Amino acid sequence: MGSVGEGEMGGNLIMTSEPLHPFTSTLPLPLFIRGKVRDVYDLGDFLLMVASDRLSAFDHVLPTIIPDKGKILTQISAFWFEQLWDVVPNHVVATDVKDFPVTLQPFHDQLAGRSMLVKKTQKLPVECVVREYLAGSGWKEYQKTGEVCGVSLHPGLRESDRLLEPIFTPATKEEGGKHDENISFSRFADMVGKETAEVLRDRSIALFIKASRLAERRGLILCDTKFEFGMLHGQITLIDEILTPDSSRYWEKSVWEPGRSQESFDKQFVRDYLESIHWNKQAPAPALPPDIVEKTRHKYLEAFERITGKKFK
């Protein structure tokens, strides 16, 4: 997913070299960034973020959409921004089209439920990852070194084990389909400055703790997530999308069992299918069959309703 908030970056930057997806918004507005999933338009001091129903896997945009995916993820982000505003200020101005500028009202049908009006910030070029369970790239690194991003962990931990406390494991923010790279805190501090790095670490962990407690009350485990930040008038500001199944790993608490991988509320159905057909992970990406589309949409819907406690409309 291409991120937003790069205040010094010019418009018309295409974040993927793949052909324009048929489900791409084409509003008559200056294009700021087109990511794998979102189209972002430049409104001067503000950005209009439009989440499409496109789906990416293994760094490629698939030719098949997941109906309502953009709306579901946008509304999950909006929920979390509202829940966490007291921990860190964020870039959200409005999430309801009726509160957008009058010039955007003619595009109501295209924007409703899947767009956010946000403040433009100077994005910090790092991902602030917080983990409380051992999974994914963290698990792979631990098996090799006993550490995750330079954080030493107890020996003998199993896959999906809960850690003693959440740990901060930053990563580089790579664009254009490149893989993000886990980095140590010292390298992180070299990139953004020691004082800023410490503030980002502390605020990321505080965001994670508040979100994980709420998720746990809903019967979910927040395994790990990533946050992105920008600077706005000298103030650290939470940006991008937050705590969605595209940027976070959620598990069902009632069936959590360390020692194995856990079923998560995300596009794992898609990854598993693409692995099963032995796709070489080169363009063009294959289309998805209807049953995989429906299972994936159902997982996203279930995540929305479990996280927010609301029915999706």
Domain boundary among the residues 89, 122, 155 is at 122
| Best CA proximity match to 261, nearest among 91, 175, 135, 167 | 135
φ, ψ dihedrals at 230, nearest 5°: -135, 170
Q: Are 52 and 23 in contact (CB under 8 A)?
A: yes
| pLDDT given at position 176 | 52
Looking at the fold, whether 21 and 94 belong to one and the same domain comes out as: yes
3 occurs within a structural domain = no
77 and 21 fall within a common domain: yes
In a shared domain, residues 25 and 102: yes
Q: Are residues 164 and 58 in the same domain?
A: no
Q: For residue 67, is it within any domain?
A: yes
Point out the domain boundary residue: 255, 278, 293.
255
Would residue 102 count as lying in a domain? yes
Is residue 88 one of the residues assigned to a domain?
yes
Q: Give domain status of residue 306, yes or no.
A: no
Nearest to 94 by CA among 113, 111, 117: 117
The Cβ of residue 140 has, within 10 Å, a number of other Cβ atoms equal to: 14
Residue 292 forms part of a structural domain: no
d(CA 168, CA 229) in angstroms, rounded, equals 15
Query: Domain for residue 31, yes or no?
Result: yes
- 136 in the same domain as 108: no
pLDDT tens digits, one per residue of 236-276: 999 999 999 999 999 999 999 999 999 998 888 898 899 99
Domain that holds residue 20: 13-122
pTM metric for this prediction = 0.90
Shared domain for 129 and 143, answered yes or no, is: yes
- Is the CA virtual torsion 60, 61, 62, 67 positive or negative? positive
- Give the CATH number of the domain where residue 116 resides: 3.30.200.20
Q: Which stretches of the chain score pLDDT less than 70?
A: 1-23, 174-179
Are 103 and 135 in the same domain? no
- In a shared domain, residues 100 and 129: no
Neighbours of 275 (CB within 10 A): 12
Considering only CA atoms, which of 55, 43, 42, 51 is closest in space to residue 12? Answer: 42
CATH number at residue 169: 3.30.470.20
Q: Quick one: tokens of 263?
A: 């079923």
Sequential DSSP letters for the chain: -----BTTS-S-EES--SPPPTT----SS-EEEE-SSEEEEE-SSEEEEEE-S--EETTEE-SS--TTHHHHHHHHHHHHHHHHTTTS-B-EEESSGGGS-GGGGGGHHHHTTTEEEEE--EE-SEEEEEEEE--HHHHHHHHHHSEETTEE--TT--TTPEEEEEEE--EE---TTPPP-B--HHHHHHHH-HHHHHHHHHHHHHHHHHHHHHHHHTTEEEEEEEEEEEEETTEEEEES--SSTTTEEEEEGGG--TTS---BSSTHHHHHHHHHTT--S-SSPPPPPHHHHHHHHHHHHHHHHHHHSS---
The last residue of one of the domains, among 122, 155, 181, is 122
What pLDDT is stored for residue 119 in this prediction? 98
Same domain, 151 and 167: yes
What is the DSSP pairing of strand 122-123 with strand 60-61? unpaired
Give yes or no: residues 112 and 128 share one domain: no
Neighbours of 36 (CB within 10 A): 20
In a domain, 310, yes or no: no
User: Cα separation of 15 and 81, whole Å?
Assistant: 25
Residues 27 and 129 in one domain: no
**Domains: count for the chain:** 2
Does one domain contain both 78 and 138?
no
β-sheet bridge partners, residue 159? none
| pLDDT for the residue numbered 22 | 56
